Amino acid sequence: MTISGVLFAISAYFTNELNVGWGGPHAIWGYLRTFYDFFAGVLIYRLRRYIPTSKVIPFFSFFVIIVIIFPPFSSILWKIFTFYVMPPWALICGVSARGQHIVYGDKWFGRLSYSNYVTHWLVLYVIALVIPDTNNFAAVGLAVVLSVMVAFLTMKYYDIPVSAWVNKKFDHQRREASIPLLSR
């Protein structure tokens, strides 16, 4: 995780952009960005029992939203901090809750986050095609509403059924493997 994070920060610093994407000369950095997110999540998951319970989650979440919406600095280092240091901190705060309810709807938003992560670019591309001037608040509001709607539909009709099927299939295989051969 550290290696991919450092490499990504170096590439963002020299290219002066965080959106290194999947096309053109920056295609390889898209994989690096994905590896960083994946390894950060795995590391935090493995260390979750050592993370102290925190009551600052709502305040930290509000701070993250304010910093992303109204960035105080426009330098690339601030952007790196905002998008690649603060989200793991937010994840650590969430992991430290250990089953406690943080805010109303937190479980629903947590389940929705993966579907939103997978589908939000599709919504943004469609809006950019339909509304060429995306620098207005109406386009931003439309993007937020449509992203949540598409993520919800994806979660309800794809993510939850597929997860249930996979869990059922592997749970059945685990039970069969745990039965001694003589009793079969």
Over range 107-112, report the average pLDDT. Answer: 79
User: Same domain, yes or no, for 14 and 72?
Assistant: yes
d(CA 66, CA 89): 15
The pLDDT, as a whole number, for residue 98 is 62
Tell me: the pLDDT tens digits for 112-138? 888 888 888 888 888 888 887 767 778
Do 45 and 69 belong together in one domain? yes
72 and 113 belong to one structural domain: no
Instruction: Note whether 77 and 118 are same-domain residues.
Output: no
Of residues 160 and 107, more confidently modeled: 160
For the chain, the 3-state helix, strand and coil shares in percent, each to the nearest 5, are: 75, 0, 25
pTM metric for this prediction:
0.55
94 with 154, same domain: the answer is: no
- pLDDT of 183 strictly over 60: no
Q: Say if residue 14's pLDDT is above 80.
A: no
Which of 80, 103, 126 finishes a domain? Answer: 103
The verdict on 76 and 2 lying in the same domain is yes
Domain that holds residue 131: 104-184
| Domain end marker among 103, 136, 161 | 103
Arithmetic mean of pLDDT over the chain: 74
Same domain, 113 and 98: no
Number of separate domains in the chain: 2
Angle at 63 between CA 62 and CA 68, to 5 degrees: 100
Question: Contact at 8 Å (CB) between 118 and 154?
Answer: yes
Same domain assignment for residues 6 and 44: yes
